[in-house]
Each structure stands twice: as structure tokens, then as C-alpha cells.
Amino acid sequence: MTLLFNQDHTWTFLLLAVLAVASVVWFYRRVPPSAGRIRPVLIALRTAALVLLFAALIEPVLALSRTVTERPVVGVLLDASGSMAVPDGTGGARRGDEAVTLLNEVLLPRVARDTDVIGLAFSAETAELGLEGSAISGA
């Protein structure tokens, strides 16, 4: 929480406010004693009016800020079209299976420490990608 003032001469206004309140008290010393109980009320009302006036002149702003930390989300898209079913990978593995293996062994250990990972397989339709060892469905 921070209190900011929009005027360059805030301290001048505050000094003038103090002088104005002091002058109110000094001028009300001259009110006849017959006023009695009303003098403190008059002093309080005049002082409150001056304080509000000077508060409006210095234009205070109360800045409230809050920091929210959220984990970033990384989206991983993997092609699940017919070409990913071609068995031309290492040892005759399908391309889709190799891609998921690479994701699980290389990408996820590095990225998943600091982020949330969402995997999606796409071709004609989008489906949730089974990361952590499972292959792409339909590939």
C-alpha cells in the first residue's frame, strides 16, 4: 500500500494547511465567551473543512497492489496425421511413438519443472496427447 501525491508542491500545501488550522484556532480565540460550548464545535468544523480542502488540493492517491504468481502453461502440439504412423524411426518405430518418447525423455524433464505442460495431438481433429510414455492415439 502506497500513498502518492499528484502535486509537485505537496509539502507547500501541507505547510499552508497547518498555518490555516493555526489561524482558525487563533481567530476563534476572539469569539466572545458567551458562545461557550459552541466555540470548540466551530473550531472543529472550520478545521475539518480546511483539512478537506487542502487534501483535495494535493490530490492523494492510495495505490494498492497485489502480486499473484502463477505457473506458466506451455502447450505442446504434435502432429497425429497419417504420416506420423510411418514406421521409419529407430528400430522401425513409428514417427509418432518416437516423438512422444522424445517429449517424455528430453522436453518434459526440462520444461515441467517450471511450467505446466499441456499436450495436444492434432490431425483432422484435436485430442489430448498422452505424455509420460503413452503413444499418440490413432497414429
Q: What is the mean predicted confidence (pLDDT) over 107-112?
A: 82
The answer on pLDDT for 33 being more than 80 is: no
Share of the chain above pLDDT 90, in %: 0
Confidence band, pLDDT 50/70/90 cuts, at residue 120: confident
Domain-by-domain residue ranges, the chain? 2-63, 73-128
The pLDDT of residue 131? 60
The pLDDT of residue 130? 62
The C-alpha angle with vertex 44 and arms to 18 and 7, in degrees rounded to 5, equals 35
The pLDDT of residue 90? 75
137 or 100, greater pLDDT: 100
- The tens digit of pLDDT for each residue in 68-105 reads 888 898 888 888 888 888 888 777 888 888 888 888 88
Average pLDDT, the chain: 78
Closest CA to 13 of 42, 55, 48: 55
- The tens digit of pLDDT for each residue in 6-28 reads 667 777 877 888 888 888 878 87
Contact yes or no for 61/4 (Cβ under 8 A)? yes
Find all residues with CB under 8 Å of 12, minimum gap 6, and list them.
Answer: none
The pLDDT of residue 54? 81
